[in-house]
Amino acid sequence: MKKIIIGSIITVLAVGWFMLAQGGDKPNPDKPESAVKRTKFLMDTYCTIQVPGTPATVDKIINAAFDRMEEIDRKFNILNPASPLYRFNNEGAPITDTEIINIITIAQEISKESGGAFDITVEPLVKLWGFFSDNPHLPQKADIENALKKVGYQHIIIKDGQVTKDLPDLHIDLGAIAKGYGLSETVKVLKNQGAKAALIEAGGQVYGFGAIKGKPWMVGIRNPRSSGVIAGMGIADLSISTSGDYERFFEQDGIRYHHILDPQTGYPARGLMSLSVLMQDPTLADGWSTALFVMGPEKAMKLAQSKSDIQIIVVNDRGEISSSAGLDSSLKR
């Protein structure tokens, strides 16, 4: 028997992080220190921007930020015929757009450093499993093996200002890193427009800068198996990205199959319920949260402990919570 949990509004809204109230007060738009909150559905998720102020003073700033996010959404959408990614995937046309090439380059670096745990060419596997359709299902082993023949970041060639491929069936999907880039660009727009503080959320990723009512923005990590949060902390000029097995999944014969696939096996990664990455760069945080989730708890913790710019919070498949050494004093549990 198969139980499907996928794409519901509640699931999307709850992915990764909840915003925790500041001092228990309800937002008051008449007070300058209160935050104006606006939400739009972009990049296949709900994106929320909060900026301290009144609608009259900050709506223009927020709208400019959403405009930039919409621009990124159109360009990076592999279903948009006008996107260079669509033409690359379906027509074999080289990618010459500098912005997209820069993100592909970052993705390739994460792929190499993670030993292939992160791979922007897994689209044939995701499509086979049907996680973004109305009928996710367990594929036949032979079909998975055939799909794996079309996967491999090493088949992407970046040279002479363009991206090409040496495998005709290779498809690129930047969904596992584009939301982070969208946050990064949103932050730039907000700051350029004069915002002194903001909290931006896109699916399982959040970035906060400045302060609200004189205090850091407070966020909490969702409990992957029940309501509430497992830990919280204040953030300033920091991005937190969470990957979890609870966003898109189905259960069959008592086994949970989720959408975070191991590019080397073709099956959902095992060992974790959720993994959160804390980094200053939202783009890197987005990519690394997927890579480290696929790597599993032991390898993920070892890598995080070896890098000064990455901190992680892990919930393993037994529900046990651990964090890298640099976070021990920051978390509130």
Cα–Cα distance between 307 and 66 in angstroms, integer?
Answer: 33
Cα–Cα distance between 90 and 322 in angstroms, integer?
Answer: 43
Cα–Cα distance between 323 and 46 in angstroms, integer?
Answer: 27
In terms of residue numbers, what domain contains 177?
A: 1-333
What's the domain count of the chain?
A: 1
Four-point Cα dihedral 65, 67, 69, 74, nearest 10 = -170
162 Cα distance to chain centroid: 25
What CATH number is associated with residue 3? 3.10.520.10
Cα–Cα distance between 156 and 163 in angstroms, integer?
Answer: 7
Say if CB 307 and CB 314 are below 8 A apart: no
Cα–Cα distance between 237 and 268 in angstroms, integer?
Answer: 32
Which H or E run contains 231? strand 229-235
Q: How confident is the model at residue 330, as a pLDDT?
A: 63
Cα–Cα distance between 172 and 169 in angstroms, integer?
Answer: 10
SS3 38: strand
pLDDT tens digits in sequence order for the chain, 333 residues long: 444 444 322 222 233 333 332 233 333 444 446 999 999 999 999 999 999 999 999 999 999 999 999 999 999 999 999 999 999 999 999 999 999 999 999 999 999 999 999 999 999 999 999 998 999 999 999 999 999 999 999 999 999 999 999 999 999 999 999 999 999 999 999 999 999 999 999 988 999 999 999 999 999 999 999 888 988 999 999 999 999 999 899 999 999 999 999 999 999 999 999 999 999 999 999 999 999 999 999 999 999 999 999 999 999 999 999 999 877 556 666
